[in-house]
Amino acid sequence: MEKLNASLVPNERQTHVRYVIIFILFAVSCLSFSDRVALSLAGTSMDKDIGVNPMRIGFLFSGFSWAYVLGQLPSGGLLDRFGSKRVYGISIVLWSICAFLTGLAGYLGASAAFTAIFILRLISGFAQAPVFPGNGRIVASWFPTRERGRASAVFNSSQYFALPFFAPIYGWMIHAAGWKSCFWFIGVFGFVLAIIWFSYFHDVRQHPGVSTAELNYIEKGGGLVDADQVHRTSTKGSALTWATFKMLLSQRMLVGVYIGQYCINTLTWFFLTWFPIYLSQARHMSILKVGFAAAVPGLCGGCGGILGGVISDKLLHGGHSLSFARKAPIMAGMALSVTMIGCNYAHSQSLMLLLMSISFFGKGIGALGWTVISDTSPAGLVGVNGALFNLIGNLAGITTPIIIGYLVQRTGLFDSALIFVSLTALCAIVSYGPIVGEIKRLEPFAPALR
């Protein structure tokens, strides 16, 4: 089909600007996640400089998470009102400034430094809120339906690859130059990405590097190439209303997708928060072994994430329906994730790590929620729908550590915690099965777009 479209403009070279766009989204998303990695690695050194104990580090993490969740809906409305280029670019600049100032805050007195860093983490959480809704919105505009699974898998895999990419760099920098240096690195790197963003990123039709053949291929394949123009001329910024949220939440298909994302993110937050503690306390690994062992499921999840997008698009290319092509990898991946429960009966550390790696690999394969959002969002509401989806999904980052902590404290064991996480994987299968139903593009909601 792509060759056929290219032949319509025989004198024009076929372009692939969309691939550069998705690479930029991956780079920005990796840096966003690395900002959280930097704080966790810098914690022990910060304690020596400004007296930040584990409880205070917890406050810094929670401050970022609450601000990130609360910023989802406003960010979605801003994306749909002002467009991806402006809002996304300003987001990069703001969190880069926050990172750079975090390093400078280390020169303040202990109490003032903690307060300043806490406020900067709040601002950074709000600033990073548009990243993933923006990613979903941009993929919906720049990629035809048949390529959307792979494109979404690429930017979504950033959550897995940020740790192995940046943790060694930050560890070396903290060892050589102190914890402040890694935040300065994030700030400088962020400014570089912001310059690249504003220089290179444009709406699909306005991009100077896009050929007519590529534009036709994207548009005829289902890409929302006019998403920004349609919304600006039709809504005049009215998308961020309670009526819009009520309409989105009245759609059974979307509610199923939202619930499914919450369940899938529960697995993510188990691995980000409690998995290293599980290895240390339940499996009696040394800290050195924990560091290496915890990285293995992350790499497996990253590989699974990319493979899930490829499988989904291959199914679509093979003539299967959109619903089957998206649901099959998600439901199969969540079924693989249930293997985690076998760790309660695995006495060998090698077998346990294998089961955990299979579980996170399955989670990666099933992480196609952003692809579904790109497939289903009404024109002009991709940003708001993505923000609501990300808000509900990231509530798992608040609830999962608390629930698992309660279960472990009550029983003294991790068995019930692993059962809880496995059950949420089963709930994700139910959500994407009978609740979601047919996956299809929703028509624009008249009350929200008039």
153-177 tens-digit pLDDT:
788 778 777 777 777 777 778 778 8
Q: Which domain holds residue 305?
A: 235-450
327 near 433, Cβ under 8 Å?
A: yes
Same domain (yes/no): 240, 188: no
Angle CA(22)–CA(39)–CA(132) in degrees, nearest 5?
25
Over residues 7-18, the mean pLDDT reads 62
One domain for residues 247 and 188: no
Residue 126 has pLDDT above 80, yes or no: yes
Report whether 95 contacts 128 (CB < 8 A). yes
Supply 224's token pair. Answer: 């929302």
pLDDT band at 334 (very low <50, low <70, confident <90, very high): very high
pLDDT, position 6: 44
pTM of the model: 0.71
* Residues 430, 162: Cα–Cα separation, whole Å: 30
Half-sphere exposure of residue 321, counting CA atoms within 13 Å on the CB side?
8
For residues 404 and 417, the answer to whether their CB atoms sit within 8 Å is yes
Is the pLDDT at 426 greater than 90, yes or no?
Answer: yes
Same domain? For 120 and 262 the reply is no
What is the DSSP annotation of 80-144? HHH-HHHHHHHHHHHHHHHHHHHHHHTTS-HHHHHHHHHHHHHHHHHHHTTHHHHHHHHHHHHS-
Determine, yes or no, domain membership for 349.
yes
Q: How many CB atoms lie within 10 A of CB 90?
A: 17
Q: Do 93 and 178 share a structural domain?
A: yes
CB 377 within 8 A of CB 140: yes
Select from 233, 201, 209, 210 the least CA-distant residue to 90: 201
Same domain flag for 174 and 42 = yes
Q: How many domains does the chain have?
A: 2
pLDDT exceeds 60 at position 407: yes
Residue 131 is assigned to a structural domain of this protein: yes
378-388 residue pLDDT tens = 876 777 787 78
> Quick check: 189 pLDDT over 90?
yes
> Is 34 part of any domain?
yes
Check whether 223 has a pLDDT greater than 90: no
Write the burial class of residue 297 (CB in 10 Å: 0-12 exposed, 13-18 middle, 19+ buried): buried
Residues 302, 431, single domain; the answer is: yes
Around 400, how many Cα atoms within 13 Å sit in the side-chain half-sphere? 28
Say whether both 209 and 348 belong to one domain. Answer: no
Same structural domain for residues 7 and 145?
yes
Residues of the chain with pLDDT > 70: what percent? Answer: 85
Out of 221, 254, 281, pick the residue that ends a domain.
221
In order, the DSSP letters of 214-229 are: HHHHHHHTT--TTHHH
pLDDT band at residue 5 under the 50/70/90 scheme = very low
Q: Domain end: 191, 221, 251, which one?
A: 221
Is residue 251 a contact partner of residue 427, using CB atoms and an 8 Å limit? Answer: no
Are 198 and 158 members of one domain?
Answer: yes
The pLDDT tens digits of the residues spanning 350-376 come to: 999 999 999 989 998 998 887 888 788
Residue 227 belongs to a domain:
no
What is the mean predicted confidence (pLDDT) over 406-413?
81
- Residue 229 covered by a domain: no
Mean pLDDT for the stretch of residues 281-299: 73
358 part of a folded domain:
yes
226 belongs to a structural domain: no
Secondary structure element (H or E) that encloses residue 237, with its range:
none
**The tokens of 153 are what?**
């898998």
- Name the domain boundary from 173, 198, 221: 221
Tell me how many degrees the CA angle 179-402-284 measures, rounded to the nearest 5: 70
Say yes or no: 66 and 183 in one domain.
Answer: yes
> What is the per-residue pLDDT across 241-286, written as a single tens digit (0 to 9) for each?
777 778 888 889 999 999 999 999 898 878 776 777 788 778 887 6
Q: Are residues 62 and 202 in the same domain?
A: yes
Close Cβ partners of 242 (under 8 Å, ≥ 6 residues apart): none
Whether the Cβ atoms of residue 263 and residue 400 lie closer than 8 Å to each other: no
Residues 110, 185: one domain?
yes
Q: Is residue 319 part of a domain?
A: yes
- The model's confidence at residue 423, banded by pLDDT at 50, 70 and 90, is very high
Query: For the domain that residue 49 is a member of, what is the CATH number?
Result: 1.20.1250.20
What the block records as the tokens of 252 is 């059974």
